[in-house]
Amino acid sequence: MRIAIASDHAAIDLRQQLIAHLERSGHQVDDLGCDEGQRVDYPDYAGAAAGAVLAGGADKAVLLCGTGIGMSIAANKVVGIRAALVHDVTTARLAGEHNAANVLCIGARVVGPLVAAECLDAWLGAAFDPRHQRRLDKVAAME
């Protein structure tokens, strides 16, 4: 799977660790930044990753910031994006199964690297349950 990943300055270390984890798992990773030593604005990176998913350059995206909240708010402003902020394996798995989340958001100050990697694996391995499609259609109608 092709995964776009981006972070702000608060989550550079976690981003690097998750890139290595994804590559070891056989995924193709597009690192959209940010670079070390920069203080950046998370909406710029959320928009770039969401755009990659919508344009078909990535199958899914991972967004990281201090809490994950800012990235999830920004990504969900993009029509067609379903970004889920997760803190554990259960919410990550259900983001895929129930919500067909195409973007996963994690807070580097909230979730450690081991749990973050487990969340990624759970989300990427989750199959959408079609019984939830009616709800997704209602959400899409709100866009």
Is 105 a catalytic site residue? no
Domain count for the chain, please give it: 1
First to last CA, the chain: 27
Dist CA 138 CA 106 (whole Å): 25
User: Per the residue annotation, which of 9, 27, 87, 98 is the catalytic one?
Assistant: 98
Range of the domain at 79: 2-142
Its pTM stands at 0.97
- pLDDT (tens digit per residue) in 72-129: 999 999 999 999 999 999 999 999 999 999 999 999 999 999 999 999 999 999 999 9
User: Per the residue annotation, which of 65, 105, 119, 132 is the catalytic one?
Assistant: 65
- pLDDT (tens digit per residue) in 70-87: 999 999 999 999 999 999
Task: Determine the pLDDT at residue 11.
Answer: 98
User: For residue 134, is pLDDT > 90?
Assistant: yes
Is 34 a catalytic site residue? no
Dist CA 93 CA 123 (whole Å): 5
CATH number at residue 121: 3.40.1400.10
Within the chain, residue ranges assigned H as helices are 12-24, 42-55, 69-75, 89-97, 113-125, 133-142
